[in-house]
């Protein structure tokens, strides 16, 4: 079991009706203020492809969860939590898929515990400077001590584009986590990984990017892939920051192809 200072994240394990004979689970790690619910369209496609999927809620993000008093929310502690979960469930390598801040957690995990990671996929994220307007907006809300309705709507629009009222309510549940968790994880997201982390990742790496992403530009995505070994880019035209929500079919196809060609289970 995990050390008391490193709580296991909540995990919803989804099993396919018909297995594709691939024993490597897919671990989905959500971004800031985003809970696990926005993975649902992609989860369905991965299950249809015969993959076992673990859908995580990072520490403090699961409704009603109480964290140890000495737990400090950082990218390192979040990655340690995910590592503890993988170890607790057998310790075999998994395919890690992280969106936005979850991509930073994924890189941190792959750099620090390479034996647990078969491949890494970054969705809507590379370690590069964020949009300055987005950062200023977040900092202003953190200083006032809460996220007001107008700012939530502005952020959701930037991430998703137009949403129905029901979608806004459902997807906006990520803002319902305790403000201390929301604040600490926001700081982790804005700070990002250290400069040495990407170069320490040895696992095959795929970046899935919407060309219309307003948080990370497609040029930043291309630059990151170009300077590293063992990296690939799948650009999806006209999609935004939450490309997995907008275009789950194309994301699933990219993932299946990447896993099939980039990693083979040791004999």
The residue range of the domain holding 119 is 10-262
The verdict on residue 151 lying in a domain is yes
- Per the domain annotation, does 1 fall within a domain? no
Q: Is residue 233 part of a domain?
A: yes
Q: What is residue 251's three-state secondary structure?
A: helix
Domains of the chain: total: 1
Task: With respect to residue 3, please indicate whether it lies within any of the assigned structural domains.
Answer: no
Strands (E), the chain: 10-14, 26-29, 53-57, 94-99, 117-123, 205-210, 231-236
Please count the other Cβ atoms lying within 10 Å of the Cβ belonging to residue 59. 24
Residue 267 maps to a domain? no
Q: Tell me: the pLDDT tens digits for 8-30?
A: 999 999 999 988 787 899 999 99
Sign of CA dihedral 202, 108, 113, 85: negative
Whether 232 is covered by a domain: the verdict is: yes
CB 198 within 8 A of CB 128: no
Exposed, middle or buried: residue 228 (CB in 10 Å: 0-12, 13-18, 19+)? middle
- Model pLDDT for residues 197-250, shown as the tens digit of each residue: 999 999 999 999 999 998 899 999 999 999 988 999 999 999 999 999 999 999
Q: How many Å apart are CA 203 and CA 232, to the nearest integer? A: 12
For 98-134, the pLDDT digits (tens) are 999 999 999 999 999 999 999 999 999 999 987 788 8
Task: For residue 247, tell me if it sits in a domain.
Answer: yes
Give domain status of residue 4, yes or no: no
- Domain containing 74 — which CATH number? 3.40.50.1820
């Amino acid at each position: 079991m995990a050390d008391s200072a490193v709580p296991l994240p909540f995990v919803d394990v989804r099993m396919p009706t018909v297995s594709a004979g691939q024993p490597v689970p897919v671990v989905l790690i959500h971004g800031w203020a985003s809970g696990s619910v926005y993975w649902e369209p992609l989860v369905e496609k991965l299950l249809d492809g015969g993959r076992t999927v673990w859908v995580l809620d990072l520490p403090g993000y699961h409704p009603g969860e109480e964290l140890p008093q000495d737990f400090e929310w950082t990218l390192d502690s979040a990655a340690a939590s995910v590592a503890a979960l993988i170890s607790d469930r057998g310790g075999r390598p998994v395919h890690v898929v992280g969106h936005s801040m979850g991509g930073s957690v994924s890189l941190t995990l792959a750099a620090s515990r390479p034996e647990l990671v078969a491949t890494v996929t970054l969705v809507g994220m590379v370690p590069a400077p964020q949009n300055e307007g987005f950062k200023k907006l977040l900092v202003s809300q953190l200083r006032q001590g809460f996220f007001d309705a107008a700012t939530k709507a502005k952020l959701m629009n930037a991430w998703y584009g137009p949403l129905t009222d029901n979608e806004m309510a459902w997807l906006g549940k990520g803002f319902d986590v305790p403000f201390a968790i929301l604040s600490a994880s926001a700081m982790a997201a804005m700070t990002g990984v250290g400069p040495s982390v990407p170069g320490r990742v040895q696992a095959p790496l795929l970046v899935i990017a919407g060309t219309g992403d307003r948080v990370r530009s497609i040029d930043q995505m291309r630059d990151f892939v170009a300077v590293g070994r063992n990296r690939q880019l799948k650009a999806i035209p006209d999609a935004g920051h939450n490309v997995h929500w907008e275009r789950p079919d194309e994301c699933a196809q990219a993932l299946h192809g990447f896993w099939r060609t980039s990693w083979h289970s040791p004999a």
